[in-house]
Amino acid sequence: MNVWGWVTDLQQQLDEDGQGHLAYLIDELPYAASIGDPRAEAIAPELLAAAEALDHPWLAIYTRHWHIQYLVGTHNQGTVALSTVADAFERAHRPEAEGCPQSICTTQDMSMVYEAVDHLGFAKDREAVCRETIADITPTWSCFDCLHRELADSLADQGRVDDARHEVERSIADMRAAGEEPALAYRGVEVRIENLSGKFERAVELGTELDGNDDELPLHRTRRNLELATALRHLGRLDEAIERFPSSSDVLDEKTQSGAWAIEYAALLGAGALENDAAQAAVLQVLLDHSLEVGSLRTTIDVGHTHGMLAAGRGARWVADLAADAMELARAELPADHGAAAKIAEVRQAAAAALVPPMPVPADELMAFLEEGETSFETDVVWLRQAAAELPDDPQPVFALAVALKHAGHHKELGVLFEELVDHAIMATPLVPALAHQMISSELGRSEVSEALERASKTLTSDPSIERQFGGHRLGVEHAMWQGRWDDAVGHGRAALERRPDARETKGAVATAAREAGDYELARDLLLSLIDDSETDDEVVGHSWALLTPATCLDDWTLVRELATRLELPMSDGDGPIDIPMEFCQVVLTDENGGFRQ
């Protein structure tokens, strides 16, 4: 059955009606959802609004399904998505939805969210919901493919590996008999079954057949490579296993593999193929925080166990204790234990036996020691906490602690520390914007960071201390600039400079905000002041470049020519307008992991 026929018809109609943008979004949503692209979060509400305006319940079902594929399929949302999935399932079975092919897809959504919550505890429920729906469709439905993969995984999670193999083989044969080809995603399921059966050579043979196939989705490739790494490890081919083992950036993007990735990471380390280093621990911490936050309960147990045991082995007792705490929270909601309690007990025992490194130097010498030495951020956190307690009026150890927490992957702990720092001396120092940047660049949710910055700014600006007021307005500048609220940034900047007129770094930030807000006179005045106060030629050049734009916008051609001469730019003679095609630009450099810097 062509379950996409009505979608194509709807898109054609929308194009004819001059609504090509909606037709485009109907195609974009499944693509964005399948690769974990955050655009899916923006597209879904727009399509739902369109479905309501068009009185088109089928489009609403389609949209909710693909939004769930994003939330659960790539971001592994568990308990937090249960109500969303249940609502979508109920709506898909109302009378007005009758006949919509995507109604079947909501069964897969139910199975997926149960798997995300606890793939072991809900294995039988997943099997039941899949079998019930499979009975109503034929191999010509694309859902036949998806549901059989869900069914096979649920059987494997029950330990019924032979049954899982039978379902895969039978469903593939049925699809081919009907003239259909199974999806490439089947390969990950097949390789997993061979691994569970101990047939590792066969797993490698199957798993490598899709190498170089550009049609395979990144998420499915990650799963296949993870299963291949497991097979190769069992065969003792450790170098090949490491090559296949998905990178940390892959698993951070595709969090449905978090639990299996953490388990295999520990296994590779146990085999001597990897080292127990704190850098990778930061990845495990981010995965642990995410799984607990979204209610992916079994993943929290699996990631927490690996993270906690390895942390204890490194002497990072505080990390192991936090991992066990997270596991305890998840275990309280699990539908069935399946070894969770034993894993928590093992982490607790290992943490209690961990050797915590003592402070290497007196507290007032620690910063110099850390600058010269090679330590881990996990160890730095322990020492910096102690130094901050012993030196309550010194802001440096506290700021260094914030940096260490973020680099160790403990973004939640960074958020807690930031809330505590409202009453600390650091909030009246030049370190305020740097501390704000630690929050802004963390893995904390955008709304969580925004609320924390707003609360701190309001508290500080209402303080009678001029220095603390400066800190509050300085936070306000960073917060507003981050959100693109340039007028607000200028307002906070003016207030900050009234309280500390000599704050050079603040002048630079406010000049940037003023330029973006169109207040070119303020930007010019601040940049001229910075040029006058510059201590190096590089500073003069940097501020001169920044000043070119506001000077041009103010038609201050004399100043523009002065700047051009300083910067060795070719410029026309005279004192009138300059007509040369130039414009301000922003260069964005990307790295191999998909990140960027501007």
Q: What is the mean pLDDT of the chain?
A: 92
* DSSP code string of 414-435: HHHHHHHGGGSGGGGSTTHHHH
pLDDT digits (tens, 9 = 90+) for 5-24: 889 999 999 999 999 999 99
Q: How confident is the model at residue 261 (pLDDT cuts 50, 70, 90)?
A: very high
Tokens of 521: 């006179």
Q: Are 348 and 326 in contact (CB under 8 A)?
A: no
Q: What is the pLDDT of residue 595?
A: 58
Tokens of 144: 């036949």
**Closest CA relative to residue 304, chosen from 256, 341, 354:** 341
The yes-or-no verdict on residue 405 having pLDDT over 80 is: yes
Mean pLDDT for the stretch of residues 59-71: 94
Distance CA 152, CA 71 (A): 22
Q: What is the pLDDT of residue 58?
A: 94
Q: How far apart are the first and last CA of the chain?
A: 48
Mean pLDDT for the stretch of residues 80-107: 90
Report the SS3 class of residue 589: strand
Mean pLDDT for the stretch of residues 481-500: 95
In angstroms and rounded to an integer, the radius of gyration of the C-alpha atoms of the chain is 29
Distance CA 372, CA 365 (A): 11
* DSSP code string of 175-199: HHHTT----TTHHHHHHHHHHHTT-
The yes-or-no verdict on residue 367 having pLDDT over 70 is: yes
Report the SS3 class of residue 133: helix
Q: Are 112 and 73 in contact (CB under 8 A)?
A: yes
Helix (H) / strand (E) containing 596: strand 596-597
- Residue type present at position 109: D
CB burial class (10 A; 0-12, 13-18, 19+) of residue 55? exposed
Distance CA 589, CA 196 (A): 43
CA quadruple 344, 350, 353, 355: dihedral positive or negative? negative
**Closest CA relative to residue 174, chosen from 206, 150, 138, 146:** 138
Interhelix angle for 537-553 vs 557-567, to 10°? Answer: 150
Distance CA 174, CA 67 (A): 30
Distance CA 219, CA 180 (A): 22
Please state whether 213 falls in left (phi above 0), alpha (psi between -120 and 50) or beta.
beta
- How long is the chain? 598
The number of helices, as runs of H, and strands, as runs of E, in the chain is 31, 2
Q: What is the pTM of this model?
A: 0.83
* DSSP code string of 247-302: PHHHHHH-GGGHHHHHHHHHHHHHTTSS---HHHHHHHHHHHHHHHHHT-HHHHHH
- Residue type present at position 27: D
pLDDT digits (tens, 9 = 90+) for 128-162: 999 998 988 899 888 888 899 999 999 999 999 99
Q: What is the pLDDT of residue 102?
A: 84
| Residue at token pair 């030196």 | 391
In degrees and rounded to multiples of 5, residue 301 shows phi and psi of -65, -45
Tokens of 353: 């036996």
Mean pLDDT for the stretch of residues 289-303: 97
Q: What is the pLDDT of residue 577?
A: 82
The yes-or-no verdict on residue 2 having pLDDT over 80 is: no
Mean pLDDT for the stretch of residues 408-421: 92
The yes-or-no verdict on residue 322 having pLDDT over 70 is: yes
Distance CA 231, CA 211 (A): 16
* 561 compared with 344, residue with greater pLDDT: 344
Q: What is the pLDDT of residue 20?
A: 92
pLDDT digits (tens, 9 = 90+) for 549-594: 899 999 998 899 999 889 888 777 777 787 777 666 788 887 655 5
CA quadruple 16, 19, 24, 25: dihedral positive or negative? negative
Q: What is the pLDDT of residue 97?
A: 86
Q: What is the pLDDT of residue 589?
A: 81
Mean pLDDT for the stretch of residues 364-371: 94
Beta carbons within 8 Å of 373's beta carbon, 6+ residues apart:
360
Distance CA 19, CA 26 (A): 11
pLDDT digits (tens, 9 = 90+) for 425-466: 899 888 999 999 999 998 888 899 999 999 999 999 999 999
Distance CA 385, CA 152 (A): 49
Tokens of 272: 């001597």
| Residue at token pair 């943490």 | 351
Report the SS3 class of residue 590: strand
Interhelix angle for 200-207 vs 218-234, to 10°? Answer: 150
Q: Are 478 and 427 in contact (CB under 8 A)?
A: no
Beta carbons within 8 Å of 263's beta carbon, 6+ residues apart:
302, 306
Q: What is the pLDDT of residue 40?
A: 93
Distance CA 594, CA 250 (A): 10
Q: What is the pLDDT of residue 585?
A: 77
